[in-house]
Amino acid sequence: MKLNSLHIKSFRGATKPLTINFSQDKNITLLYAENGNGKSSIADALVCLCTDGAGSLDDKSNKDYSFLKSLGANNSDLLVELKTDTQTFKATLSANSNKIIKNPSIDLPKLKALRRAQITSFIEDTPSARYKVLSSFIDVANIQKSEAELKKLIASLDRDYGQNTKSLTDAKHTITDIWNKEGNPLDTLKDWVQSEIKKDNSKLTKELHENNTVLQNWSSLQTVVSSIKTENAKYGIAVNNLKEAEKQLKEYQLKNPNAESNLLSVLNETKKFLTAKVAIDKCPVCEKDNEKEHLLQNVDGRIAKMQELNKLTQTVNSAKTEKDRLYNRLQGQIEPFNTQLIGFKNSAIKLSAFDFTNILSEILDTNTTKDNYKAFNDSSMQLTAEIEKLSKHNQSVNKSVVLHNSIKSNYESIVRLTKSCRELEKLLKQAKSSLVIIENTRKKFIDNELLSISGEVERMYQEIHPDEGLGNVKLFLNHTYQSSLNLSANFHTESDITPQSVYSESHLDTLGLCIFIALAKKESNKDVILILDDVVMSVDERHLDRIISLIHTEAKHFAHVFISTHYRPWRERYRNNRAPNTNIQFLELRSWSIERGITIAKPQLVLEEIKFYLNSPENFHRENLSGATGRFLEAILDFLTFNFQSRLKRKPGNDYTLSELLDCLSKDLLKGLKVQKMNILPDGKYCNNYFTDEIYLKTVIDEIKSLKAIRNQVGAHFTFDGALVSDNDIEDFAKATVKLAELLVCPVNGTLPDRNKSGSYWETKIGSIRLYPLIEP
Amino acid sequence: MSDNNKTVAKEIVRQLKAEKMVADEEIILESKIGDGTIRESDWKLVFEQQIRNAEKQAKSETE
Domain ranges for chain A, please list them.
3-127+506-603, 609-772
pLDDT, one tens digit per residue, over A328-384 is 998 888 778 888 999 999 999 999 999 999 999 988 888 888 888 889 989 999 999
pLDDT at A61: 66
The DSSP letter of residue A288 is -
Query: B40-62 vs A369-464: helix axis angle to the nearest 10?
Result: 100
Percentage of residues in chain A having pLDDT higher than 70: 99
Q: Does A432 touch chain B (CB under 8 A)?
A: no
CA distance A9 to A694: 53
**For residue B21, what pLDDT is reported?**
95
Give one word for A329, left, alpha or beta, with left for phi > 0 and alpha for psi -120 to 50.
Answer: alpha
Phi-psi region of A693 (alpha: psi -120 to 50; beta: other; left: phi over 0): beta
Question: What are the tens digits of pLDDT across the range A72-113?
Answer: 899 999 999 999 999 999 999 998 877 899 999 889 999 988
Where does A3-127+506-603 sit in CATH, by number? 3.40.50.300
On whether any CB of chain B is under 8 Å from the CB of A126, the answer is no
Cα-based distances in Å from A100 to A50, A467, A597, B5: 11, 47, 22, 30
pLDDT beyond 60 at A23: yes
Q: What is the pTM of this model?
A: 0.63
A366 touches chain B (CB under 8 A): no
Helix axes B2-18, A369-464, angle to 10 degrees: 120
- Residues of chain A in contact with residue B21, where contact means CB-CB under 8 angstroms, are 430, 433-434, 437
- How many CB atoms sit inside 10 A of residue A408's CB? 15
Q: Under a CB-based contact definition with an 8 Å cutoff, are residues B50 and B21 in contact? A: yes
CB contact under 8 Å between A153 and B40, yes or no, is: yes
Dist. CA A270–CA A289, nearest whole Å: 17
| pLDDT at position B2 over 60 | no
Distance set, CA B50 to CA A4, A28, A73, A303, B44 (Å): 58, 57, 68, 108, 10
Nearest-by-Cβ selection for B16 from A142, A144, A434 = A434
CA distance A487 to A244: 117
Residue in A closest to B54 by C-alpha: A426
- Kindly list the residues from chain B whose CB atom is less than 8 angstroms away from the CB atom of residue A156: 40
Q: Beta A88-93 vs A674-680: how paired, if at all?
A: unpaired
Any A CB within 8 A of B16 CB: yes
A497 vs A569, higher pLDDT: A569
Q: Do B33 and A146 touch (CB under 8 A)?
A: yes
Is the pLDDT score of A16 beyond 60? yes
B19 in contact with A, Cβ within 8 Å: yes
Q: Which residues of B touch A157 (CB under 8 A)?
A: 44
Using one digit for the tens of pLDDT, what is the confidence trace for A213-271?
999 999 999 999 999 899 999 999 999 999 999 999 899 888 877 667 778 788 888 98
pLDDT given at position A230 = 92
Does A442 lie at the interface with B, CB-CB under 8 angstroms? yes
Tens digit of each residue's pLDDT (9 = 90 or more) over A430-458: 999 999 999 999 989 988 888 888 889 99
On the question of pLDDT at A508 being above 90, the answer is no
- List of residues 6+ apart from A755 with CB closer than 8 A: A762, A763, A764, A765
Q: What's the pLDDT tens digit per position in A678-732? A: 999 999 899 988 999 999 999 999 999 999 999 999 998 888 888 899 999 999 9
Across the interface, whether the CB atoms of A146 and B48 are under 8 A apart is answered: no
Q: How far apart are CA A353 and CA A344, in angstroms?
A: 16
Residues of the domain holding B10: 2-62
- CB distance A441–B8 less than 8 Å? yes
Tell if the CB–CB gap between A146 and B21 is shorter than 8 Å: no
Q: Are A697 and A740 in contact (CB under 8 A)?
A: yes
- Its ipTM equals 0.97
DSSP SS3 for A83: strand
Cα-based distances in Å from A746 to A27, A410, A755: 19, 94, 12
Query: Mean pLDDT, chain A, as a whole number?
Result: 90
Distance CA A651, CA A385 (A): 134
Contact A528, A558 (CB under 8 A): yes
Kindly provide the b/e burial profile for residues A12-47, where b requires at least 16 CB atoms within 10 angstroms of the residue's own CB.
Answer: bbbbbebebebeeebbbbbbbbeeebbbbbbbbbbb
Question: Which residue is closest to B12 within chain A, CA to CA?
Answer: A438
CA separation for the pair A6, A82 (Å, rounded): 5
Percent of chain A with pLDDT over 90: 58
User: What integer pLDDT is reported at residue A267 of this predicted model?
Assistant: 86
Round to whole Å and give the CA distance between A776 and A643: 9
Going A175 to A176 to A181 to A186, the CA torsion angle's sign is: positive
Across the interface, whether the CB atoms of A438 and B12 are under 8 A apart is answered: yes
SS3 content of chain B, % helix, strand, coil (to 5): 75, 0, 25
Averaged pLDDT for residues A624-646: 93
Residue B38: closest CA among chain A residues belongs to which residue?
A: A146
CA distance B58 to B16: 19
Q: Which residues of B touch A424 (CB under 8 A)?
A: none
B13 contact A CB<8A: no
pLDDT at A25 over 80: yes
Which pLDDT score is estimated for A259?
66
Contact B21 A433 (CB under 8 A): yes
Write out the E strands in A652-748. Answer: 674-680, 686-696
Give the pLDDT score at A559.
95
Say what the pLDDT of residue B1 is.
40
Which has the higher per-residue pLDDT, A489 or B63?
Answer: A489
Express each pLDDT in A161-204 by its tens digit.
999 999 999 999 999 999 999 899 998 999 999 998 898 889 99
SS3 A482: coil
Q: What value, to the nearest 5°, has the Cα angle with vertex B53 and ends B49 and B59?
A: 145
The total of structural domains in chain B comes to: 1
- Across the interface, do A140 and B8 touch by the CB < 8 Å criterion? yes
| Cβ–Cβ gap A142/B1 under 8 Å | no
